[in-house]
Amino acid sequence: MAIFPEIDLSKCDGCGLCVTVCEPGGLILVDDPIVAIVETAICDWCADCEAVCPTGAIRCAYEIVFDNV
Ligand code: SF4
Ligand code: SF4
């Protein structure tokens, strides 16, 4: 299973911005919960959804480490 960002649904107002920026289609808008993760989609860990969310509902709980070899 892919690693996805964590969504705090109590902070989500359903604006849909995260859905529009997610190129792999890993997020969808539904009624309840407001935003759901598509488990079969591939998350490329771009963190765009976290950056665009105006309410801070999305948290990418992974750390990107650059290999300076
Ligand atoms: S981190 Fe990127 S690919 Fe993953 S769910 Fe968010 S927008 Fe989509
Ligand atoms: S961008 Fe944030 S507030 Fe808007 S639908 Fe996505 S999780 Fe909810």
Q: pLDDT tens-digit profile of 6-33? A: 999 999 999 999 999 999 999 999 887 7
Between the CA of 31 and the centroid of ligand 2 the distance, in Å, is 13
Q: Domain residue spans in the chain?
A: 6-59
Length of the chain: 69
* Domain 6-59 = CATH 1.25.40.80: no
43 lines ligand 2 (CB under 6 A): no
Q: What is the reported pTM?
A: 0.85
26 lines ligand 1 (CB under 6 A): yes
- Residue in this structure with the two tokens 């107002």, named with its chain if needed: 13
pLDDT over threshold 60, residue 1: no
Give percent of the chain above pLDDT 90.
52
Spell 2-23 as b/e; 16+ CB within 10 A means b: eebbebeeeebeebebbbeebe
pLDDT over threshold 80, residue 3: no
Pocket residue to mutate for ligand 1, from 21, 49, 52, 53, most atoms within 8 A of Cβ: 49
Please report the pLDDT score of residue 54 as a whole number.
Answer: 96
